[in-house]
Amino acid sequence: MVENCHLLRLLVRRIAVAASAAVLAAVPYAAKAQTDANTADSNHQYSSSADYSSSLDWKSYLSADDITGEALGGSASPSPQYGQSSHPRYPESTSRWSHLALEAGAGFTAPVGNTAHGWETYGYNLKGGAGWNFTKHLGVLVEYQWNRDKIPGSTLTQLAIASDSPVPFGGNVNTWSFTIDPIFYLPVTKKTGAYVTGGGGFYRKVTNFTVPVLSINCYYYCYAGYYPATIAHSSSNQGGLNIRAGFYWKAMGEDSNAKLFAEAGYLWVDSPVASNSVPYGSGTSSLVPVTFGIRF
């Protein structure tokens, strides 16, 4: 009986030792499997992360506004490619050449002051100019103006009698100038407005006296006739001033730089008085030119 109990204890002990050995042998394999599982999960996560990053790579080429638009469900507006602009083209009126100022016109001229006292009568004028518009309201022009007035018939008759001329005299007074004239625009509506301008510069005045002379002129064919020939003249160079005001109208549209204008002004020239060397001088000249034309 005692021997049987001893054998039973020995058998239980051996089973326990074997089970312990089996458990100890299984632990490394379980640890390795866990490690492999963790590695697999890590790789899967990395792969998922890589896939996610890769799916967003295209967004790096979009601006913040594009990404926001996509997030809001609106249509994406991709950033402009090289050589393109996301801003609308500037209108022509704001280009660098829009600051260039040009003008041309013609009209009639009336004498006033000393000039009207028998020395000059009505004539005509031509003008042209170029300059720069600093703003829509302020600019400056370099202007050329040419005024041609007649000498009154009564004055010419007296001169012809005093000179014992068998034929009547003719005559004219030419006054041309180069001046620097600031201009200030005063818009009234989008298409109409007014302006004030004026300045000073160089003036040259030339007085011519003519008589009719029989001569032959050839133009395609030759023919004879009486034509004015200059028998005397006087000239002077001096300074002068002018001031003018006018109205303009953008006939081609409110966005156009072209303006039709009508203006009247006062022109004063410090020309010399009559003397022995210049017997035909009227002294200071005063003219009122009225001009119609176009300016830009």
Q: What is the DSSP string of the chain?
A: -HHHHHHHHHHHHHHHHHHHHHHHHHHHHHHHHHHHHHHHHHHHHHHHHHHHHHHHGGGGGS-HHHHHHHHTTS---PPPPTT--SSPPPPGGGSGGGGEEEEEEEEEEEEEGGGGTTT---EEEEEEEEEEESSSSEEEEEEEEEEEEEPPHHHHHHHHHHTT-SS--EEEEEEEEEEEEEEEEEESSSSEEEEEEEEEEEEEEEEEEEEEEEEEEEESEEEEEEEEEEEEEEEEEEEEEEEEEEEEE-TT-TT-S-EEEEEEEEEEE-PPBP-SSSTT-BSSEEEEEEEEEEE-
The CA–CA distances, whole Å, from 38 to 27, 41, 50 equal: 16, 5, 18
Task: Say yes or no: 45 and 3 in one domain.
Answer: yes
Highest mean pLDDT out of 29-33, 75-79, 236-240, 269-273: 236-240
Question: Domain for residue 182, yes or no?
Answer: yes
Residue 82 structural domain? 1-87
Task: Say yes or no: 164 and 212 in one domain.
Answer: yes
Task: Say yes or no: 49 and 116 in one domain.
Answer: no
Task: Say yes or no: 176 and 227 in one domain.
Answer: yes
The answer to whether residues 289 and 125 touch, using CB atoms and an 8 Å cutoff, is yes
b vs e for 168-187, b when ≥16 Cβ sit within 10 Å of the residue's Cβ? Answer: ebbbbbbbbbebebebebee
Task: Say yes or no: 227 and 204 in one domain.
Answer: yes
Residue scoring higher pLDDT (115 or 180): 180
Distance, CA of 224 to CA of 215 (rounded, Å): 6
Is 90 exceeded by the pLDDT of residue 263?
yes
Question: Domain for residue 287, yes or no?
Answer: yes
Question: Domain for residue 93, yes or no?
Answer: no
Predicted confidence (pLDDT) per residue in 127-150, tens digit: 999 999 999 899 999 999 999 999
Question: Domain for residue 95, yes or no?
Answer: no
Question: Domain for residue 176, yes or no?
Answer: yes
The last residue of one of the domains, among 63, 87, 111, is 87
The last residue of one of the domains, among 65, 87, 109, is 87
Predicted confidence band of residue 28 (pLDDT cuts 50, 70, 90): low
Residue 98: the pLDDT is 77
Residue scoring higher pLDDT (107 or 26): 107
Task: Say yes or no: 202 and 124 in one domain.
Answer: yes
Task: Say yes or no: 128 and 36 in one domain.
Answer: no
Question: Domain for residue 130, yes or no?
Answer: yes
Q: 139, 129, 135, 133: which is closest to 179 by C-alpha?
A: 129
Q: 208, 163, 191, 179: which is closest to 269 by C-alpha?
A: 179
Task: Say yes or no: 76 and 108 in one domain.
Answer: no
Task: Say yes or no: 246 and 284 in one domain.
Answer: yes
Residue 229: the pLDDT is 86
**Dihedrals phi, psi of 62, to nearest 5 degrees:** -100, 155
Predicted confidence band of residue 23 (pLDDT cuts 50, 70, 90): very low
Task: Say yes or no: 79 and 110 in one domain.
Answer: no
Number of domains composing the chain: 2
The last residue of one of the domains, among 62, 87, 112, is 87
Question: Domain for residue 32, yes or no?
Answer: yes
Task: Say yes or no: 204 and 251 in one domain.
Answer: yes
For range 156-170, the mean pLDDT? 85
Task: Say yes or no: 128 and 211 in one domain.
Answer: yes
For range 22-44, the mean pLDDT? 48
Residue scoring higher pLDDT (201 or 41): 201
Predicted confidence (pLDDT) per residue in 63-102, tens digit: 444 444 444 444 444 444 444 444 444 344 456 677 899 9
The answer to whether residues 240 and 267 touch, using CB atoms and an 8 Å cutoff, is yes
Paired tokens of 169? 């005299």
CATH of the domain at 121: 2.40.160.20
Residue 54: the pLDDT is 42
Predicted confidence band of residue 183 (pLDDT cuts 50, 70, 90): very high
Residue 117: the pLDDT is 79
Question: Which range among 134-143, 232-241, 269-278, 285-294 shows the weakest confidence by mean pLDDT?
Answer: 269-278
CA 9 to chain centre: 114
Question: Domain for residue 267, yes or no?
Answer: yes
